[in-house]
Amino acid sequence: MDRALQRHTGIIELTRLRWKSCRKSAVGVQAEKQNLNDTFELGHMLQDVCDSLPKSAVLSAKLPFEIRLRSGKWFVAGSPVRISTDSDAVPGIGNREFLANLRIEAELMMFIGQTAMNATQACRLTLRRFSYVSHNDSYEVSEYKGRGSRTVLFEIFKEYKSHFERFLEWRRALFPNSTLLFPFIRYGSRPGSSCDMARIRAICAELNLTFVGPRLLRNTRVNWMLRRTGDPDVTAETSQHTKKTLLRNYHQPSLQRTMSESTKFWVVMDAHLTKKESVAPGECTGTPKEEASIAKQAPKPNCGRKSGCLWCVDHRDIDSFDYVWALASFCQMKLYELTKVDMRKLAEDAPPAQLAVDRIQEKLSWFKEASEERREWVTEARARIAEGWYHPDFEAELAALEGVL
């Protein structure tokens, strides 16, 4: 229409309407693995920080305080210079408020990774008497009430409960006067305001670790759970989102999952992808069905006779030397059988063994003419047969036939 009206500016550009693309780019397999590896490395570092800062370290550690990680890396935290803080600081903490804040920041990051809760919302949580109710592979956490209905505050994995209880004990001992679940020691800022994770960012930069922020941490958890359960409804409920919000804002298409689902689909829909053992050399679907051009005297496919597979619609050749060697050995076995046939009783009809030999020779001729590499396969296979070196699948039968000749 713009071209017909000779407009230089599109009509849509003169409105306040904006096109919002609904398409999301899929994450490649390597990028997805790298994202998980970065998240695991950060999680290990956060766990080591929490383990290194118990109550005794925060109250009496000599500054600067050295923290060693399981990876062998280490860093120094805290400064001997005193910084004025608010009244939440516990008496005796002195100038070790950085250590306390570092532990709280690490606990906050782990909490976000466990619950997929928004960072601002998590910072405003108040300390309560929590109760835990088992739910699938996790716990629903709510405020303890003697009677009445309960409101689920968040959901955590079962393995995290002991760590969370340890943090609550540490937090109650150091900050008995604060009502916040994550009581940062602040100066000049409102209690409960969001945290920018500056301390963890600085440590990651110092140790050359990839910092995974709260938003990406939530996305990683949500997408990991979605891949694990395969159920958007359950994932949305666990992550405290609506299904629409989950799919619009958090779901990240996964190339690895798409490939896996596509493979599973075609295995069900395409019978030829379901490999089953064939009684003759090659592969099949296990459903005998004879070709339209099958000769009258040719063996009929029945998944019981090797010769019948040669005229089965669902039989498949294998592009390998081992298969060519097996065909050549099969042909030799049929030649031995042919020597026992009384040709005078067959009139003008060719015996089934002769038809099988001709069919196998057709297959070997195709391999011989297909390429130079396949030609070498046929040459080598025939040389082995001439030497009496048969394929293991036919070795015993041929030995028995040669023993009676």
What CATH code is carried by the domain that includes residue 160?
A: 1.10.443
**Could you tell me where the beta strands, DSSP code E, fall in 177-329?**
276-277, 283-284
Element (DSSP H or E) covering residue 143: strand 138-143
Per-residue tokens: 51: 């383990």
Residues 247 and 377 in one domain: no
**Given the structure tokens 């001992």, which residue do they identify?**
173
In a domain, 269, yes or no: no
Residues 397 and 325 in one domain: yes
- For the residues of 351-397, what is the DSSP string, one character each? PHHHHHHHHHHHHHHHHHHH-HHHHHHHHHHHHHHHTT---HHHHHH
Residues 286 and 384 in one domain: yes
Rounded Cα distance between 187 and 96, Å, is: 14
Is the pTM higher than 0.95? The answer reads no
Rounded Cα distance between 370 and 209, Å, is: 53
* Residue 212: pLDDT over 50: yes
In a domain, 166, yes or no: yes
Residues 127 and 193 in one domain: yes
User: How many C-beta neighbours within 10 Å does residue 24 have?
Assistant: 11
The predicted model gives 326-330 an average pLDDT of 90
Residues 315 and 189 in one domain: no
pLDDT band at 87 (very low <50, low <70, confident <90, very high): very low
Element (DSSP H or E) covering residue 152: strand 152-157
155 forms beta bridges with 140
In a domain, 263, yes or no: no
Residues 172 and 301 in one domain: no
Residues 88 and 230 in one domain: yes
Residues 229 and 285 in one domain: no
Mean of the per-residue pLDDT values of the chain:
80
CB 186 within 8 A of CB 178: no
Rounded Cα distance between 106 and 43, Å, is: 9
In a domain, 18, yes or no: no
Residues 250 and 283 in one domain: no
* DSSP secondary structure letter of residue 246: I
In a domain, 7, yes or no: no
Q: Name, of 55-69, 228-242, 309-323, the range with top average pLDDT.
A: 55-69
CB 173 within 8 A of CB 55: yes
Please give the residue range of the domain that contains residue 165: 24-255
- Total domains in the chain come to 2
The predicted model gives 231-235 an average pLDDT of 75
In a domain, 270, yes or no: no
| Residue 346, φ and ψ in degrees, nearest 5 | -100, -5
In a domain, 144, yes or no: yes
Per-residue tokens: 349: 């009809």
Residues 324 and 237 in one domain: no
pLDDT at position 103 is 95
Q: Name, of 101-110, 188-197, 338-347, the range with top average pLDDT.
A: 101-110
pLDDT at position 55 is 92
The predicted model gives 195-217 an average pLDDT of 90
In a domain, 9, yes or no: no
* DSSP secondary structure letter of residue 45: H
Rounded Cα distance between 14 and 384, Å, is: 80
Residues 296 and 370 in one domain: yes
Residues 77 and 198 in one domain: yes
Of the chain, the percentage scoring pLDDT greater than 70 comes to 80
Rounded Cα distance between 36 and 221, Å, is: 10
pLDDT band at 303 (very low <50, low <70, confident <90, very high): confident
